[in-house]
């Protein structure tokens, strides 16, 4: 078992594509090669977690995490574990891993919305696990704040007890507005169903190769200010598939939220090679496929910057047999500003996108506003 997890970790670090991580790779490999001992494997069952019963496992899992030294693997053997509000605060060099995203399931239990919470942690890997939101009606998910060098790959986030769509976001992975931006985040090759991904207040973020099905709330993949003086810079959002977003803003969204946010910076975004698909199974009027700017251009703001944004080589496909329409949104790809909102989209490149849509209403494919013009 230890040998297998050691190989997993080496493979993980070798496969990182984020440039900021590259300078760490030789050091990491040197440590592995120079130290014959594999990472410590902490089996949560040895701390009292029992899968597939009706007893909450939060305390046992929390104890296992608290007892784990740096460079440990918190291992969840096959089965379903009940938990909520487990904390991974100020920890470094930990891996949370299971036997596979359909085999090792961490299921939210009780009324507390968050499955996991992490503040101030660095060098964490989460992989080969399933996460069940279990009837969430608002927020929830795995919450990070003030994080550095977090990698999330080959997981499945879902809701086995879906509730009717309401007026709130429902999260899978969320990097919230902490005291400092989260840095060097990789979210790749995950399956997310009936929940959205939100990465606010981040520097050097890569969201790649994920499938997000029926996201609920504001966006499939969203980046929001949350308040004044926010910074989100150097994001690559590429090769993701977003299917049937049941959202108010868009499949992929960069937004002032709340719309009165000021002195915030959204800079150097690459939104590339994503597929946003609408099938015949969805009804009603929904949002743009890609949307940047503000959700309410009647709100006055000042000092906001949207700069160096590339939206390129994306495919938007609407099933010809679907009753879905883009409704009253202004465009399929929409940059929303106004004279009152008072910001421009500087150095913005929207090109080579393919839109397959029987556009009977004459909706613009692309509309990028410059202070409302």
Predicted confidence at residue 286, as pLDDT, reads 65
Name residue, tokens 């994920």. Answer: 210
Neighbours of 228 (CB within 10 A): 16
- pLDDT at res. 226: 96
Q: What is the pLDDT of residue 28?
A: 42
| pLDDT at site 192 | 98
Phi and psi at residue 165, in whole multiples of 5°? -65, 130
215: exposed, middle or buried (Cβ count in 10 Å: 0-12, 13-18, 19+) = buried
Q: What's the pTM?
A: 0.90
Report the pLDDT value the prediction gives residue 268, as an integer from 0 to 100: 98
**What's the pLDDT score for residue 362?**
77
Instruction: Give the span between the Cα atoms of 228 and 295, in whole angstroms.
Output: 15
pLDDT < 70 positions in the chain: 1-37, 281-286, 323-329, 372-373
The strand order across the sheet containing 86-87 reads: 86-87, 114-119, 141-145, 171-175, 196-199, 216-224, 246-256, 288-294, 333-336, 366-368
Return the structure tokens found at 52. 């597939």
CA nearest neighbour of 329 among 295, 360, 357: 295
Locate 351 and state its tokens: 């090109």
Rounded CA-CA distance 23/33 in Å is 17
> What tens digit of pLDDT does each residue of 224-243 get?
999 999 999 999 999 999 99
Residue for token pair 């069952």: 45
**Contact (CB, 8 A) for 244 and 278:** yes
Residue 358: count of CB within 10 angstroms of its CB: 11
Task: Enumerate helices (H) and strands (E) in the chain, giving the number of each.
Answer: 4, 31
DSSP 8-state secondary structure symbol assigned to residue 146: S
What pLDDT is recorded for position 308?
97
Contact 244, 282 (CB under 8 A): yes
pLDDT at 363: 82
pLDDT for 321 equals 77
């Amino acid at each position: 078992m230890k040998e297998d997890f050691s190989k997993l970790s080496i493979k993980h670090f070798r496969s990182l594509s984020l440039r900021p991580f590259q300078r760490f790779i030789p050091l990491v490999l040197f440590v592995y090669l120079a130290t014959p001992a594999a990472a410590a494997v902490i089996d949560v069952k040895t701390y009292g977690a029992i899968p597939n019963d009706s007893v909450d496992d939060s305390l046992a899992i929390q104890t296992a995490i608290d007892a784990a030294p740096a460079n440990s693997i918190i291992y969840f053997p096959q089965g379903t574990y009940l938990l909520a509000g487990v904390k991974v605060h100020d920890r470094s060099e930990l891996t949370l891993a299971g036997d596979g995203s359909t085999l090792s399931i961490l299921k939210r239990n009780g009324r507390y919305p968050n499955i996991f919470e992490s503040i101030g942690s660095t060098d964490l890997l989460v992989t080969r696990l399933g996460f069940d939101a279990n009837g969430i009606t608002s927020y929830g998910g795995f919450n990070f704040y003030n994080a550095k060098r977090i990698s999330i790959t080959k997981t499945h986030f879902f809701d086995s007890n879906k509730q009717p769509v309401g007026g709130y976001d429902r999260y899978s992975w969320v990097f919230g507005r902490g005291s400092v931006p989260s840095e060097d985040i990789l979210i790749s090759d995950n399956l997310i169903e009936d929940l959205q991904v939100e990465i606010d207040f981040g520097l050097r973020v890569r969201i790649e190769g994920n499938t997000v099905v029926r996201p609920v709330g504001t966006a499939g993949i969203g980046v929001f200010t949350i308040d004044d003086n926010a910074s989100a810079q150097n994001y690559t959002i590429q090769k993701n598939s977003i299917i049937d977003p049941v959202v108010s803003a868009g499949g992929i969204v960069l937004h002032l939220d709340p719309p009165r946010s000021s002195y915030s910076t959204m800079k150097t975004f690459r939104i590339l090679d994503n597929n946003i698909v609408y099938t015949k199974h969805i009804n009603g009027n929904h949002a743009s496929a890609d949307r940047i700017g503000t959700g309410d251009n009647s709100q006055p703001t000042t000092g906001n910057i949207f700069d160096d944004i590339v939206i390129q080589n994306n495919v938007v496909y609407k099933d010809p047999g679907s009753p879905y329409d883009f409704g009253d949104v202004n465009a399929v790809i929409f940059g929303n500003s106004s004279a009152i909102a008072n910001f421009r989209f500087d150095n913005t490149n929207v090109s080579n996108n393919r839109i397959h849509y029987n556009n009977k209403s004459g909706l613009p494919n692309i509309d990028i506003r410059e202070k409302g013009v």
